[in-house]
A and B are shown apart, each in its own frame.
Chain A
Amino acid sequence: MNPNLYLIKYLLKPEMKATRDGYGEGLVLAGEKNKDVVVLCADLTESTRSLAFQKKFPERFVELGVAEQNMASVAAGMSLAGKIPFVSSYATFSPGRNNEQIRTTIAYNEANVKIAGAHAGISVGPDGATHQALEDIGLMRMLPGMTVIVPCDYEEAKKATMAAAEIIGPVYLRLGREKTPLMTTFDTPFKIGRAEVFKDGRDAVIFCCGSLVYNAVKAALDLESERISAAVINIHTIKPLDGETILKYARRTKAAVTVEEHQIYGGLGGAVAEFLAKEFPVPLEFIGVNDKFGESGRPDELIEKYGMGVAAIKKAVKRVLARK
């Protein structure tokens, strides 16, 4: 593991916390720092963890009811009058239901609005496919000027939220519902647009994002015992993509696997494939949901069933090595 990143030593039973909790705490910190930060929510204040901000800054909290389209455009209007709005909902509704409003009134308008999509990914679990966003990275990545961030853990989500408030322009923050392993610490560096090498390696590289970074690290550590050296790169910013780091590891290993809790089309895998096809083509394998909707189940069961578990990542690394 990279000693310069102050990562938590890999543990079999890691401490668990949800990225949405990092968002909630990041909002309060961003709000303390800048009085222009306002938070909007569409009837999901507790579960998007906007509640702490509402309690601390009730006069800067806006409740819109079940109206995500209105929320996106109200936020655009508030930003044009000088505010820094964070809009909070589930990713299936925002940026799902309100996609056109985000496109026209936020992205094309270059409005300084931050969109937080909670309950993203299949690990939403028992709620089922209607509430499991698996296409949101793709939707947001296609919009000109949109920054897209997928934090890997609670601590990174907190830093990403604060960083989103600092930069000018629209940002999409992808958050999960479940408690997931803590990997980074207060001291771990975070910069929008800069990927971090969590583990170095020579034979293959795993580009990953979100809570599955943990599975990728575990797969890479397991593979060491089989004399396979796999690097693990946390691509927390899907857009703008850190092409320099991706190119460096593609050149070094000449075999890459992408890992994300998203459709294998259009998300991190798509972004890496588009970039490497042009810059330095290498064999690629994609870990993600393969053109299907999810279903009800326990998060861990769903991750396994839909092919995003540690064993699936190890197999993908071996497949890509065979294609070298």
Chain B
Amino acid sequence: MEELHETKLKQLELKANQIRQDIIAMLVEAGSGHSAGPLGMADIFVALYFHVLKHDPRHPEWPGRDRLVLSNGHICPVRYAAMAHAGYFPISELKTLRKLGTRLQGHPHRLALPGMETTSGPLGSGLSQAAGMALALKMDGAPNRVYCAMSDGEHDAGQTWEAVMFAAKYKLNNLTGIIDRNNIQIDGYTEDIMPLDDLKDKYESFNWHVIEINGHNIREFVDACATAQTIFEKPAVIIAHTIPGKGVDFMESKFEWHGKPPNKEEAAAALRELRTLQGQIEAGHID
């Protein structure tokens, strides 16, 4: 992976801010959808699409590409926004989210949008699919990596752990899991709904290599992806601690914002806040 220079890091931070603004604009236009998760994962999706992944937006089926599986499909606005900025489709199309005839389905559909590696939404099945891809690529001796973005909440599902065991059994060292550890799910805080901690211990005891990071620190995430590539005998998982609703003060860390969009007034307030942050990043006042 190429080195992440300071100038590029600042560009990526600005890009993440822009994507957060797009997420707000998409959700208010759609009138339904999920707010907290997409905002919380903006830094990681920018890092993936603009630094980590090998991919070619002009040739979404390029065989040499890395595969990115989004398991918790409901945070797709962040993926759509990152893909549009990367050049997969016009940014203006983001406004069609969830509308009749759109390529941007409410939960992502592989056949609707080139570059969308798989269909997802029902939680807990993404890691299985990513592991299947990783195993098939290994069988063929292909060098591609598979990344699987997951939520913490979907670790309630037994299938996730079936896949965790499976990936360890087949030593899928070409697979990197990314867990959005934001501690919320639709009914409340994860530790109230169904305690997940200690996730790190759990994964380690299932024979995965675990890296814990601040999910809003792009450099930490990029470094973690690079480390994951050096692990030989195991799959690796990056537990990314994030703040749900990151960048919009009144949404941050509130599970009530898991599954609803902002109304017009809330969207205007959110955009004002994000533009202020944008100015601060441009002026170099924020790391």
List A residues at the B interface (Cβ < 8 Å): 38, 59-60, 62, 64-65, 67, 69-70, 72-83, 85, 100-101, 104-105, 108-110
Contacts and interface: CB of A to CB of B under 8 A. Distances in A.
Contacts of A82: 136, 140
Most buried by A among B111, B136, B163: B136
B31 interface: no
A64 B166 contact: yes
Contact of A105 (B67, B129, B166): B129
A78 B125 contact: no
B100 interface: no
Interface in B220-240: none
B-side binding surface: helix, strand, loop or mixed?
A: helix
Contacts of B111: 109-110
Given A70-B166, A104-B119, A105-B118, A76 B132 contact: yes
B109 interface: yes
B30 interface: no
Contact of B118 (A65, A75, A85, A109): A109
A74 B162 CA distance: 10
A70 B133 contact: no
Interface string B102-131: 000000011100000111111001001111
A73 B137 contact: no
Interface of B: 67, 69, 109-111, 117-122, 125, 128-137, 139-140, 158-159, 162-163, 165-166, 170
Given A60-B139, A77-B129, A77-B130, A67 B118 contact: no
Given A104-B122, A108-B119, A69 B159 contact: yes
A74 B163 contact: yes
Given A77-B118, A77-B130, A80-B118, A62 B125 contact: no
Given A76-B118, A101-B159, A105-B118, A81 B133 contact: yes
Given A38-B136, A74-B131, A77-B134, 15 more contacts: A62-B170, A67-B166, A70-B128, A73-B159, A77-B118, A77-B129, A77-B135, A78-B132, A80-B118, A80-B133, A81-B67, A81-B132, A81-B136, A101-B125, A109-B110
A77 B139 CA distance: 13
A193 B170 CA distance: 38
A212 to B, nearest CB: 35
A85 B128 CA distance: 14
